[in-house]
Structure 1
Amino acid sequence: MPLLKREIKCLLKMEGAMATPLRTLILEDSPDDTALLLLELERGGFDPTHERVDTAEEMTAALGRHTWDIILADYKMPHFNAIAALSILKQKNQDIPFIIVTGSIGEETATAAMRAGANDYLMKDNLTRLNETVRRELKEAVNRAALRRAEASLRESEEKYRRFFEEDLSADFISTPDGKILVCNPSFVRLFGFSSTEEAASHDLKSLFPDRAAWDRFIDALREKRKLQWCEVELRCPGGARVDAIANVVGRFDPENKLIEFKGYLFDNTERKALERQLFQVRKMESLGRLASGIAHDFNNVLTGILGYTDLSLLKIDETHPLHSYLTHIRQLVWKASKMIRQLLTFGRRQVIEPTPLNLNTVLLELLPLLEKVLSEEIEMTFHPDPHLKNVHADLSQIEQVILNLCVNARDAMPAGGRLILQTKNLSSTESDIRETPFIHPGDYVLLSVSDTGVGMDEKTIERIFDPFFSTKDPDHGTGLGLSIVHGIVGQHGGWVTVESRIGKGSTFKIFLPAVEKSAHAAPGREFTRHLPRRSEKILIVEDDPLLKAVFQRSLEERGHSVLLAENGEEGLRQIKQQTDPVPVVISDLVMPKMNGREFYEQVQMIKPGTKFLFVSGYTDLPDHQEWLKKNNLPLLLKPFSPSELATKVHDLLEPPTDAAKPEAA
């Protein structure tokens, strides 16, 4: 047999054939049968290296020592068999072609062996198919290995995609054209407040749009453009909360160009859009405030003139005169117009405020009797004060107006009755109420919340609720300035207003005001009109409006003063320089052509130190001037004012009242 084997090898070499290496594990108890198998393999063009085993232990050891290309196994051996061998191979999870070569085997046995994992079986007395079978199974093994690598690569790719999909911070989804959500990731679930992907998939994508028209516009745009890039969309959580998102969406179309599916991802843009709306609101209010300030200046000048001439006329007649009631009504209308102008200035944050330390609990307790009269009997009002509430630095009358406006607004939202809840609370900038509020700086705040159980508001209404002249009420039941004034007053005090509302559930307005450590003052009183003695001092009036200049002149001349007139600061300086007698008081407008009031004051103090000044102005948006006036302890009289107010201010400059002479408060 060895001689024949050498002859075969020599013959193959002479013919120039290259033998194929074949690592063969042979499960056989007969050395002669093993030699026949090797000889047949060599005849078929293989160059086998082999190991023969005939027990389970030897097979296990052989599988651990080497890598095998094929296993040729006798079906039955004294201490081992092919079925047991296949079990070992399966436990080792090795895919090695397994061919049974046996002396005799029944059809049922062969079928059982094939089911156990054998790739084929041959009879020992007929090995003509051996090489063909080996080559076939080697090729199949290569194909199976390639398939396993492809499947492993696919699984790895799928796992990478799954992890990317599930860990992606953007909200990913796939949907049908009618809005059925086929799949979505956890970020999509979180964005819309679902509890799980299953719950999200049970919802219709259409339901996340504000209305059907918005969904139709979205789908029509996708069908037309086939994909939407960086598209801003307004969506809704199932609970109704607004979600602003930036969408990137790609459609999948059939050969007839019909949309059959689309996938996309959403970036949460809600916070940025909210900040944009807040910033737009601030800029809009600032623009309106500047406009209102300019208009108010002109109106205040006109009202000052009307009020002045009205009061001067009333001094000339008694109450029995037929014109007395007409003039009195004119005077009342002037003050009513003045109040409207102050309201216009308030929502634009241009109104001059006189802040003092206040405790909102005290303010509310004093207002409760008035609020009970304002509210209807069907409304139940409750107040929950914080017993340790800090103070705020605020103008009392304006804070009272904020509270009254909010309570009236709540009353109107509950035509059939309900509950009005007032609450105060200390907050710090680390707490959630403030962290979620734009433009609030770190620090301590006092929160005033006004809640009602009324009809509530939708998102569109909330967006415009602080707009001047915007109202959901009938024209006869509101001016549309109430909440604008609230917004303006709170902003002017360094605070912020937020609103939460749902249709049918009511609304909650929250006012955040910076807290201060100063003690609260008692509410300021109202001065009685004083009787003033006649005076004879010389007064210089510097005013560019000739009608106002004339009314000021006559008001002071009625009190015995001699009056000098100038149209602007330059002319006023010439008047001062020309006078040989002292001019103890100068009444000057703050804003004038050629030389403003501040420059005029400084020039006068250089040539006539100690000259007293009373500044008047129709403008209220004068932060720089007000700071300068406060620093130099200079009085400011805001238009409109009456002749008696002007005379009183002048008298107090000439003869400052002592503590004992100060008027009592009413």
Structure 2
Amino acid sequence: MNVCKREELSTMAPTDIKESERSQVPNILYLEDSVTDAELVEYELRRAGIEFVLHLVDCESGFLDGLNRWKPDIILSDFSLANFNCLEALRLMNRAGVDIPFILVAGAHSEQSAVECMREGAADYILKTNLMRLASSVRSALKSSAAQKQKTEALAALQKSEEQLLQAQKLEAVGRLAGGISHDFNNLLTAIMGYSELTLRQLPPNDPLCRNIQEIKRASERAASLTRQLLAFSRKQVMQLRVFDLNVVVRDIERMLLRMIGEDIDLRTILQEDLGNIKADPSQIEQVIMNLVVNSRDAMPKGGKLAIETARVYLDETYAQNHIEPAPGVYVMLAVSDSGVGVSEEVRQHIFEPFFTTKEPGKGTGLGLSTVYGIVKQLGGHVWVYSEPDKGTTFKVYLPSVIEEADEYQQPTAPATVPDGTETILLVEDAEAVRHLARDVLKSRGYNVFEAADAATAHSICRRYQRAIDLLLSDVVMPLRSGVDLAKELLEIHPEMNVLYMSGYTEDTVVHHGVLDPGVNFIQKPFSADVLAIRVREVLDAR
């Protein structure tokens, strides 16, 4: 490597250019070992009214350093220097794939030398003894450089958009698969969970079989949790939407979060006042916060700092253009930041995919962040992550702000005991295992239950039964006739009936894009025996 006479780059810039404006002024890298000649060239360009910053180098190492450090818009070069020349510079640029306008500013040389430089990629040849064309040549080169930069930036933006679109399409396809699988499991899990509970109630507490049944029940509950997370990722969860202030939810679960993360992690909350409201399911927003906090906790096995921040932000057109999904507008932002181990860019590209995890086997399902992704997307929001290895991670969730007044928010509480009843219930369900379970659960609670596997049987029961039917408990999606259509028909025969729908689907005649129609009573599969009994009692008591 040749040794430069000057160890640092010499920058020749007008003194009236402010530091903040310098990034907007073109950079010219000048390969020249004569300061006098460089000053003459600079004078000629300043006299022509061209604004620029000139970086003077005189050797190969300085030239390469200048290319990397200054990202020049154009290059000027003498033909021959003490230990370097313009042909070598051009060949270095060609090998590196650097496409920058290169102007040869030299003394009189043979025509063959000039032609050779032009063949290697020089844009022009200006004689030092006649600098009259220098200004126009530099202007043309700067214009060409600006056009090339715009083209490069446009191609980079297009490539980024294509990558984001491909990732979104990939996640969408995985989501559809996950949603379908989850639905198929729901009926099976409903039967397993429910019959486990019924069997435990019938066995004495000291029966050896109790332990086995409890393990079956716990396993089914874990499986149900997985299906709920898959449904969340695929944006097919049923949401109980309310208007509320995100700060209320954060404050409400802060104490629980402190217990989750342990004493070796310092938790800070930075909540903006007058945040504005969002329209979401409070329980799902709690799930988002907890999943992000757990993810941060696991990234700090030796302790660290964790911050939860809320803010009201406006995402403008520029942000929307750089991120393929969000529309411009006012959002409520939730940020969760940690000082943990961080992740690489490669890991970040897969971070929301279901079952993707960097944890050891058995330490995680890989569904926590995919659940966050699905919930946020279902609410019309956007989630963004920034991370660097060994420097920590920040997740930012953007949820659309609404101008509606906040509803009263309270965490739901389960009743102390599971209630019984004596009312008459018509049960319509085409899945035999679920129908038998629901029948057995309700009968064990004292209800009078008629069961039907299809709409025709339900009609027959309603016409024959002359007394009041207090509740129609019906699946929504059934062969030949939907539960909603069936309910309309049966209400003409028994107008006193309340209706409670059950389903594993979230895109049907009572649920649209995960949102229940107003006034509809609904229970989502899979459900436990106790949950079914409680929900039935709630609907009956609401008459």
Q: Place the TM-score, normalised by the shorter chain, in its bin.
A: 0.5 to 0.7
State which drifts further: 448-457 or 460-469: 448-457
Matches within 5 A, 1:284-433: 284-375=170-261, 379-415=265-301, 417-430=303-316
Partner Cα distance (2:264, 2:421) in 1: 57
Aligned residue for 2:511, secondary structure, equals helix
The alpha-carbon distance between structure 1 residues 194 and 594, as it changes in their structure 2 partners (threshold 3 A), is farther
Contact residue 424 and residue 447 of structure 1 kept, 8 A = yes
Read off the aligned partner of 2:406 and give its amino acid letter: S
Map of 1:506 onto structure 2: 392
Partner Cα distance (1:530, 1:375) in 2: 32
Contact residue 194 and residue 200 of structure 1 kept, 8 A = no
Q: Which of residues 73, 77, 81 in structure 2 aligns to 1:197?
A: 73
Matches within 5 A, 1:175-324: 194=70, 196-197=72-73, 267-268=152-153, 269-324=155-210
Alpha-carbon deviations, 1:7-37, whole Å to 9, x = none? Answer: xxxxxxxxxxxxxxxxxxxxxxxxxxxxxxx
Read off the aligned partner of 1:276 and give its amino acid letter: E
Read off the aligned partner of 2:427 and give its amino acid letter: I
The alpha-carbon distance between structure 1 residues 643 and 379, as it changes in their structure 2 partners (threshold 3 A), is closer
Matches within 5 A, 1:435-584: 436-517=322-403, 518-519=405-406, 521-530=408-417, 532-535=419-422, 537=424, 539-584=425-470
Partner Cα distance (2:296, 2:419) in 1: 47
Cα drift, residue 415 of structure 1: 4.5
Aligned length: 424
The alpha-carbon distance between structure 1 residues 180 and 413, as it changes in their structure 2 partners (threshold 3 A), is farther
Alpha-carbon deviations, 1:347-383, whole Å to 9, x = none? Answer: 2211222232333333333444444444465544433
Cα drift, residue 653 of structure 1: 4.1
Read off the aligned partner of 2:439 and give its amino acid letter: Q
Structure 2 gap ranges (5+)? 1-44, 46-51, 53-59, 78-93, 98-118, 124-144
Cα drift, residue 294 of structure 1: 2.3
Contact residue 359 and residue 520 of structure 1 kept, 8 A = no
Partner Cα distance (2:292, 2:69) in 1: 31
Alpha-carbon deviations, 1:43-95, whole Å to 9, x = none? Answer: xxxxxxxxxxxxxxxxxxxxxxxxxxxxxxxxxxxxxxxxxxxxxxxxxxxxx
Partner Cα distance (2:389, 2:464) in 1: 72
Read off the aligned partner of 1:535 and give its amino acid letter: T
The alpha-carbon distance between structure 1 residues 366 and 432, as it changes in their structure 2 partners (threshold 3 A), is farther
The alpha-carbon distance between structure 1 residues 384 and 596, as it changes in their structure 2 partners (threshold 3 A), is same
Read off the aligned partner of 2:73 and give its amino acid letter: T
Q: Which has the larger radius of gyration?
A: 1
Contact residue 346 and residue 485 of structure 1 kept, 8 A = yes
Cα drift, residue 309 of structure 1: 1.9
Contact residue 425 and residue 448 of structure 1 kept, 8 A = yes
Q: Which of residues 479, 491, 506 in structure 2 aligns to 1:605?
A: 491
Q: Which of residues 474, 478, 482 in structure 2 aligns to 1:588?
A: 474
Contact residue 385 and residue 393 of structure 2 kept, 8 A = yes
Map of 2:510 onto structure 1: 625
Bigger RCO (CA 8 Å, 6+ sep):
2
- TM-score by structure 1 length? 0.56
Partner Cα distance (2:122, 2:427) in 1: 77
The alpha-carbon distance between structure 1 residues 602 and 180, as it changes in their structure 2 partners (threshold 3 A), is farther
Contact residue 357 and residue 365 of structure 2 kept, 8 A = yes
Cα drift, residue 530 of structure 1: 4.0
Partner Cα distance (2:76, 2:290) in 1: 44
Structure 1 gap ranges (5+)? 1-158, 160-165, 167-177, 202-217, 223-258, 658-666
Partner Cα distance (1:481, 1:288) in 2: 13
Aligned residue for 2:426, secondary structure, equals strand
Cα drift, residue 488 of structure 1: 1.1
Partner Cα distance (2:324, 2:519) in 1: 36
Partner Cα distance (1:574, 1:262) in 2: 91
Percent identical among aligned pairs is 34
**What do you get for the CA RMSD once the two structures are aligned?**
4.0
State which drifts further: 474-483 or 488-497: 474-483
Contact residue 428 and residue 434 of structure 1 kept, 8 A = no
The alpha-carbon distance between structure 1 residues 495 and 575, as it changes in their structure 2 partners (threshold 3 A), is same
- TM-score by structure 2 length? 0.67
Alpha-carbon deviations, 1:109-162, whole Å to 9, x = none? Answer: xxxxxxxxxxxxxxxxxxxxxxxxxxxxxxxxxxxxxxxxxxxxxxxxxx9xxx
Map of 1:616 onto structure 2: 502
Contact residue 429 and residue 435 of structure 1 kept, 8 A = no
